[in-house]
Amino acid sequence: MPVLMLALAACGGDTAAPRIPAAPSPAPPVVATAAPSPQVAVTGLPDFSALVTAWGPAVVNVATIVRHDTGEAGPPGIGPGDPLYDFFRRFGFGPPRGPQPPIARGEGSGFLVSADGYLLTNAHVVDGAREVTVRMTDRREYAARVVGVDERTDIAVLKIDATGLPHVRVGDPGTLRPGQWVVAIGSPFGFENSVTAGIVSATARSLPGDAYTPFIQTDVAVNPGNSGGPLFNLRGEVIGINSQIYSRTGGYQGVSFAIPIDLAMTVKEQLVANGRVERGRIGVTIQEVDQALADSFGLSRPHGALISQVERGGPAEQAGLKAGDVILAVDGRALERSGEVPALIAAVKPGAESVLTVWRGKSERRIAVRVGALEDEPKIAASRQSGDPDTGRLGLAVRPLTGRERAQLDTEGRLVVEAVDGPAEQAGVQPGDVLLAVNGVAVATLAEFRSAVGAGGATVALLIQRGDAEIYVPVRVGS
């Protein structure tokens, strides 16, 4: 059976000649000020030409230059200029085959949200970029500054030094309904200002690894290079940012996802003001409520989010929440699925109070929770991406545990296995295992881990904690 893969509609490669950083004498800007309603064609289908004419000038091409160290690891057989390079790199596909070129070019899309040069795009479009150039539809070019990046929502804010620029109007994605027409403008494969249209397939979609974004699903054709471009409603308002596709091939197959613009604008405001995004958390682990669970808890139908674990000493425990409670609503907003909870809680300012409607003992009750702050967990590159010769030969990606994770796991260990392949996978090491010692030597830091592995022989014995058990796993060191 073919395996589905989630592919970023990432910035495509660019092998053209170097770009000019900025146009020497900018022409007077054309400001889009109206949003004509789409005309209805003879066939009965909408004509989007007036919308595109009015708002197309606010959509830009985002060109990046990334400088790589020649020893940097990359996906096997795929260079940094390839449209799918970012997807494979983010998911850690194997060591490099041959040296990586020192400079790579990429392209994506973006759109202006203010006349003074602020624009939005996807974080993965500018990931690692040393130089960013924005090209307008009239071929003017500007050097862009990255104001801020929020990887949790895949949002980046850029700024160009210009005024009187055309910019979009922001709509309300909450008014979207499945079946409504939407229009995307972007630069798929570098073909600038390309227009595609389709319908809303679903709203508030949850995707693996994106707990904080309730995606808009559409069937609009989105391809590498469309990332960061706007999704318009028929009133000419931006209601989303095209971000991801779901595909067996890495190309468009009728399922596309956009980040709601209200979420993106909230992130933008915080990045511009503070350089970072604050999010709330309450310290619970939740799961979906299916029919069997609904029956056992006495719910009339499957809905809400079942609390399976409460963090000791966390905001939820202090407020009186318990494992087995079913969250039915957050601040009066009813929940259908558990995936809606993280985004709703994250939107609450740390220190503020959120009122949860919960189902306990076959009756509803309201519990006020003082929301805590979601920490930015440290990101440690997988060893197979970092080029480390010792950990790479084990096939282990290891990172430090946060204090919250250590409390949840009730462990004295300080390192956790994030991903495995090769020898470690063959030996039975699993993601989530807590690493305690290597060849009898306790390891608490990445440096100690590398040192212990380097001092070992052809086989190293890893002491790991899995659940309540501690076991030794011998791993043969790869060549």
pLDDT tens per residue across span 101-138: 567 888 999 999 999 999 999 999 998 888 999 999 99
Share of the chain above pLDDT 70, in %: 78
pLDDT value, residue 45: 81
pLDDT confidence tier of residue 16, bands split at 50, 70 and 90: very low
Going by C-beta distance under 8 Å and a sequence separation of 6 or more, which residues neighbour residue 352? 280, 370, 371
pTM exceeds 0.75: no
Residue 407, classed as helix, strand or coil, is: helix
The residue that leads in pLDDT, 348 or 459, is: 348
Q: Is 124 a catalytic residue?
A: yes
Share of the chain above pLDDT 90, in %: 45
And the tokens for 323? 């494992």
Condensed to tens digits (0 to 9), the pLDDT of residues 339-357 reads 889 989 999 999 999 999 9
The residue that leads in pLDDT, 240 or 390, is: 240
- Select which of 82, 124, 194, 247 is catalytic: 124
Contact 62, 107 (CB under 8 A): yes
Rounded Cα distance, 60 and 391, in Å: 42
Most confident of 30-39, 401-410, 431-440: 431-440
Nearest one of 397, 468, 381 to 431, comparing CA atoms: 397
Is pLDDT above 60 for 75? Answer: no
Nearest one of 112, 58, 107, 66 to 268, comparing CA atoms: 112
Is pLDDT above 80 for 182? Answer: yes
Going by C-beta distance under 8 Å and a sequence separation of 6 or more, which residues neighbour residue 431? 417, 418, 419, 420
| Overall average pLDDT of the 268-275 stretch | 92
pLDDT value, residue 460: 78
Cβ atoms < 10 Å from Cβ of 266: 16
pLDDT value, residue 9: 42
| Overall average pLDDT of the 364-393 stretch | 62
Alpha helices (H) in 196-290, listed in sequence order: 261-274
Q: Which domains does the chain have, with CATH numbers?
A: 5-274 (2.40.10.120), 280-373 (2.30.42.10), 383-476 (2.30.42.10)
Cα end-to-end distance, the chain, whole Å:
32
| Overall average pLDDT of the 18-36 stretch | 42
Is pLDDT above 80 for 257? Answer: yes
Of 73-77, 167-171, 337-341, 459-463, give the lowest mean pLDDT range.
73-77
- Select which of 86, 127, 154, 388 is catalytic: 154
Dihedrals phi, psi of 21, to nearest 5 degrees: -60, -35
Q: Is 227 a catalytic residue?
A: yes
Cβ atoms < 10 Å from Cβ of 181: 17
Of 30-44, 195-209, 218-232, give the lowest mean pLDDT range.
30-44
Of 114-118, 403-407, 426-430, give the lowest mean pLDDT range.
403-407
Going by C-beta distance under 8 Å and a sequence separation of 6 or more, which residues neighbour residue 142? 21, 22, 23, 117, 133, 134, 136, 160, 161, 162
Rounded Cα distance, 260 and 124, in Å: 17
Most confident of 77-86, 408-417, 469-478: 408-417
pLDDT value, residue 216: 95
pLDDT value, residue 91: 45
What is residue 344's DSSP assignment?
Answer: H
And the tokens for 361? 């003992």
pLDDT value, residue 4: 37
Is pLDDT above 60 for 29? Answer: no
Averaged confidence pLDDT in the chain? 81
pLDDT value, residue 391: 46
Of 29-33, 114-118, 434-438, give the lowest mean pLDDT range.
29-33
The residue that leads in pLDDT, 177 or 477, is: 177
Cβ atoms < 10 Å from Cβ of 323: 13
Of 230-244, 296-310, 353-367, 373-387, give the lowest mean pLDDT range.
373-387
| Overall average pLDDT of the 47-68 stretch | 91
pLDDT value, residue 389: 31
Is pLDDT above 80 for 43? Answer: no
- Select which of 206, 227, 247, 256 is catalytic: 227
Q: Is 167 a catalytic residue?
A: no
Condensed to tens digits (0 to 9), the pLDDT of residues 184-221 reads 999 998 888 899 999 999 998 888 777 789 999 999 99
For tokens 């071929």, the residue is 139
Is pLDDT above 70 for 25? Answer: no
Residue/partner pairs of 196-202 with CB below 8 Å, 24 or more apart: 196/220, 196/221, 196/222, 197/46, 197/48, 198/256, 200/176, 201/255, 202/178
pLDDT value, residue 81: 54
| Overall average pLDDT of the 325-332 stretch | 96
